[in-house]
């Protein structure tokens, strides 16, 4: 083998790991793209309203309790324990915007029905969302004459059968509460209501 | 020189007090465990109005009714109210079961009553919308005002033509 051939061989060997690395790097986005396409879901984070603090900001951002927008969007969520599909309504500023997963429901953002729900399903946390799933209800807070955040369609109860109001610990919702928190929601465990998630602070 | 030292010391004390006060206010405002509620709504009995009743059950005594109500969870929102049936004119005639106390929630619109009945059913509780409106004679609060206004702008807090006698 001549010295030129040895030189070429050495160069070829040096190029091989580079070629492999380039190939892998090129494959990563393609694989991710394929995965997202198959999953039909992407975290869009589109047009979230800023999370209000206190009654006045809630009204400024979401309108009066029980207004038509508060119940404009519906979504379904199947409980993992009993297989019941709960259909509930929520505010049009918190979802209903068309995505690969959500049809156009006339909503303004991708928050709840695409991003939060999609995250929970994509991270295989749906197994922890159990029976008793509620959204909009034009009602007061239990035992009071003060509007519940449910009356604005900015609150969701999940796993109500497992996370009773008044309990200051969580059994199942703690497994996915971070997803809500990362999308602007407050978890009711902060005030001993672990079934409850609301898109508001200071209320 | 002495004056300057005193002034600087006073400024330092004032600054520390201000920073401390601001920190206290800030931590109080962002305290996760604290709960600030909105305004309390006036309990509206709709005295004299003709109201739609959603009935959850009729019981012989207040204690029985209270016990039944305690067993009916509506998550963290208010469900039924325990009321004496005598506070609604035309109630007994429509309800076959005897008893002096009932679990009810009352509404001015049929839509409001049906939405609540659907929610109660979804929670797994009995809910019957009485076919004929009853006249409220006042008495204890029975849930009036917790329904959407037909205008779509907020809750219905005033009588409507259908609820006026």
| Contact check, Cβ <8 Å, A71/B148 | yes
Q: Do the domain assignments include residue A139?
A: yes
Q: What is the pLDDT confidence band of residue B6, given thresholds at 50, 70 and 90?
A: low
DSSP states along A144-196: SSBB-GGGGT-EEE-STTTS-TT-SS-SSGGGTHHHHHTTT-EEGGGGT-TTE
Backbone phi, then psi, for A112, in 5-degree steps? Answer: -85, -55
| Overall average pLDDT of the B134-143 stretch | 98
- Phi/psi-derived region of residue A70, left when phi > 0, alpha when psi is between -120 and 50, beta in every other case: alpha
Contact: A68, B152; criterion CB under 8 Å: yes
Provide, as residue numbers in chain B, all residues whose Cβ is less than 8 Å from the Cβ of A63: 153-154
Q: Which pLDDT does position A104 carry in this prediction?
A: 98
Mean pLDDT of A95-112: 97
The two beta strands, B134-136 and B50-59, are antiparallel
Distance (Å, rounded) from C-alpha B160 to C-alpha B138?
17
Q: Answer whether residue A13 shows pLDDT above 90.
A: no
Read off the pLDDT band of B156 (50, 70, 90).
Answer: very high
Instruction: Tell which residue, B79, B54, B62, has the closest CA to residue B133.
Output: B54
DSSP A73: E
d(CA B83, CA B144): 13
**Alpha carbon distance A161, A76 (integer Å):** 18
- Contacts with A, B 12-51, CB within 8 Å: 29, 32-43
**Could you tell me the pLDDT band of residue B137, with boundaries at 50, 70 and 90?**
very high
In a domain, A90, yes or no: yes
Model confidence at B31: pLDDT above 50: no
A155 in Cβ contact with A135 (< 8 Å): yes
Exposed / middle / buried, residue B108 (Cβ in 10 Å: 0-12, 13-18, 19+): buried
Same domain, A30 and A126: no
Could you report the per-residue pLDDT of B54-88, keeping only the tens digit for each?
999 999 999 999 999 999 999 999 999 999 999 99
Q: Give the pLDDT of residue A21.
A: 85
Average pLDDT rounded to a whole number, residues B124-144: 97
Query: Lowest-pLDDT range, A3-17, A74-88, A117-131?
Result: A3-17
CB B112 within 8 A of CB A138: yes
Given a cut of 70, whether residue B50 has pLDDT beyond it is yes
Establish if B71 touches chain A: CB-CB under 8 angstroms. Answer: no
**pLDDT (0 to 100) of residue A183:** 98
Question: Does A38 have pLDDT greater than 60?
Answer: no
Indicate whether A47 belongs to any domain. Answer: no
Domain count, chain A: 2
Q: Which residue has the higher pLDDT, A78 or A29?
A: A78
Q: pLDDT-based confidence at B2, cuts 50/70/90? A: low
Domain containing residue A169: 54-198
Does A111 reside within a domain? yes
- DSSP lists the bridge partners of residue B155 as B148
B154 vs A66, A160, A188: nearest CB: A66
- The answer on pLDDT for B18 being more than 80 is no
* A48: in domain: no
Instruction: Please calculate the CA angle B52-A65-A136 and round it to the nearest 5 degrees.
Output: 75
Determine the pLDDT at residue A37: 57
**pLDDT at position B36, please?**
61
Q: Does residue A49 belong to any structural domain of this protein?
A: no
Q: Check whether B153 has a pLDDT greater than 60.
A: yes
Say if residue A126 is in the same domain as residue A163: yes
**C-alpha–C-alpha distance, residues B26 and A40, integer Å:** 43
Residues of A within an 8 Å Cβ radius of B: 54-55, 58, 63-68, 71, 86, 132, 134, 137-148, 150-151, 157, 160, 164-165, 188, 190-191, 193, 195-196, 202-203
* pTM, rounded to two decimals: 0.81
B101 bridge partner residues: B59, B84
Whether A44 maps to a domain, the answer reads no
Contact B65, B103 (CB under 8 A): yes
Q: Between B37, B42, B155, which is nearest A64 by CB? A: B155
Taking the CA of residue B148 and the nearest CA in chain A, the distance in Å comes to: 5
- Does residue A122 sit within a domain? yes
Instruction: Give A152's strand partners.
Output: none
- pLDDT given at position A179: 98
Res A171: pLDDT: 97
For residue A65, which residues of chain B lie inside 8 Å, CB to CB?
154-155
Query: Given a cut of 70, is residue A35 above it in pLDDT?
Result: no
Which range, of A125-139, A185-199, B26-40, averages the lowest pLDDT?
B26-40
Residue A1's pLDDT band (cuts 50, 70, 90) = low
Quote the CA–CA distance of B106 and B96 in Å, as a whole number.
19
Same domain, A84 and A21: no
pLDDT at B16 over 70: no
pLDDT digits (tens, 9 = 90+) for A151-170: 999 999 999 999 999 999 99
Give me the residues paired with residue A88 across strands.
A75
Computed on alpha carbons and rounded to an integer, the radius of gyration of chain A in Å comes to 24
Tokens representing A96 are 């209903």
The mean predicted confidence, pLDDT, of chain A is: 93
**CB–CB contact A141 B73 (8 Å):** no
| Residue in chain A lying closest to B28 (CA) | A202
Rounded to an integer, the average pLDDT of A140-153 is 97
Listed as own residue / partner, the contacts of A181-184 with beta carbons closer than 8 Å and 24 or more positions apart are A182/A119, A183/A45, A183/A48, A183/A111, A183/A112, A183/A115, A183/A116, A183/A119, A184/A48, A184/A50, A184/A51, A184/A111
A65 closest CA partner among A146, A147, A142: A147
């Amino acid at each position: 083998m001549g010295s030129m051939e040895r030189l070429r061989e050495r160069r070829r060997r040096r190029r091989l790991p580079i070629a492999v690395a380039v190939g892998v790097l090129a494959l990563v986005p393609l694989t991710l793209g394929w995965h997202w396409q198959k999953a039909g879901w992407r975290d869009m984070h589109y047009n979230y309203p800023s999370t209000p603090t206190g009654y006045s900001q809630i009204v400024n951002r979401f309108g009066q309790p029980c207004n038509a927008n508060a119940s404009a969007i519906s979504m379904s969520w199947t409980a993992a324990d009993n297989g019941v599909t709960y259909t509930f309504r929520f505010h049009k500023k918190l979802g209903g915007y068309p995505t690969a997963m959500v049809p156009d429901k006339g909503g303004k953002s991708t928050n709840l029905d695409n991003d939060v729900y999609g995250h929970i399903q994509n991270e295989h946390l749906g197994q922890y969302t159990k029976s008793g799933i509620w959204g909009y209800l034009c009602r007061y807070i239990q035992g009071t004459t003060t509007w519940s955040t449910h009356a604005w369609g900015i609150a969701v109860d999940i796993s109500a059968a497992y996370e009773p109001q008044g309990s200051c610990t969580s059994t199942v919702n703690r497994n996915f509460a971070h997803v809500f928190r990362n999308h602007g929601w407050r978890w009711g465990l902060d005030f001993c209501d672990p079934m409850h998630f609301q898109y508001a602070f200071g209320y | 020189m002495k004056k300057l030292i005193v002034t600087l010391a006073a400024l330092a004390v004032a600054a520390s007090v201000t920073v401390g006060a601001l920190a206290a206010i800030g931590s109080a405002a962002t305290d996760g465990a604290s709960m600030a509620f909105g305004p309390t709504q006036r309990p509206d009995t709709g005295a004299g109005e003709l109201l739609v009743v959603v009935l959850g059950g009729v019981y012989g005594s207040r204690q029985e009714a209270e016990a039944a109500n305690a067993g009916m969870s509506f998550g963290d929102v208010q469900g039924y109210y325990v009321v004496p049936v005598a506070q609604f004119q035309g109630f007994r005639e429509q309800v076959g079961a005897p008893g002096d106390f009932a679990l009810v929630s009352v509404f001015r619109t049929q839509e409001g009553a049906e939405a609540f009945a659907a929610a109660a059913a979804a929670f797994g509780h009995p809910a019957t919308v009485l076919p004929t409106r009853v006249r409220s004679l006042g008495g204890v609060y029975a849930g009036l005002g917790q329904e959407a206004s037909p205008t779509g702008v907020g809750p219905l807090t005033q009588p409507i033509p259908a609820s006026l006698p």
